[in-house]
Structure 1
């Protein structure tokens, strides 16, 4: 049997890709979070759904998920010569635009319905990514399962925010003089 690389070379490739993907994913998540956050008068004025977890949970969960997402990407990227590798990585790049857009849309633009559509896109595209990752490296797909669970929960939570605040928080205490809807 001919091998393209030794186990040591494969491990080194995975480590190099991990050192690229994990910080990149964490950085992108951090930058996205800088375009909106829960510390606004608008968000404070919203009725919170019963399933809304304590705010500290979000930072902890997203921090862990970003590391797992980065490791999953590194597993796929380090699978040189694997059938579907480039397609899986490309699908992830297209998918990840959605989750990165959610925070600025929900918190920054205060558009809960558009944010819900973004989450729906994120979950559906994540299912595609998960299947593609699974074909390249099973463990990469397994690492994305908690992310899928959290994205699905976030979708339900976003929907609950809309149900609890059908006016979109227009009657908030943000200090705005007037709010216009087109």
Structure 2
């Protein structure tokens, strides 16, 4: 009986160590992916930059509210992630939001979310997000819909020599832009 218990404890210890090793390996692979993506896109410093670049931010007006004097506006911001398309969105979704919280990206853009413990009153709240596979660039993008204009941090602007997106690439949906 004692040997079975000792054997089970040994197996449990090995399984815990294997899990820790796999987690470390996953972190290293994500770091390598980010560094490669940063180097490919000309982002400097490639090892320290979080890898998220704002491609475009534009004001939108909902079509059904144009008839009324007070139109409802929102902002749509397109952000390129450092994650290549060979990963599925379901595999990177949690990692992206973990990055946004841990690396203070939401705070840099002055966006309030339910996941942030900010006691101050927020002017810009996250309403919705969508993932988009950009086959032209080979990277996942996330479109954030917010209640107001975000702050665009300098470190999240595209390198001038490597501009890879524009507002004209936004897909048509139920929201119409008033920006020309």
Larger Rg: 2
Q: TM-score, normalised by structure 2?
A: 0.33
**Greater fraction helix:** 1
Q: TM-score, normalised by structure 1?
A: 0.32
Higher RCO, Cα 8 Å, sep 6+: 1
**Greater fraction strand:** 2
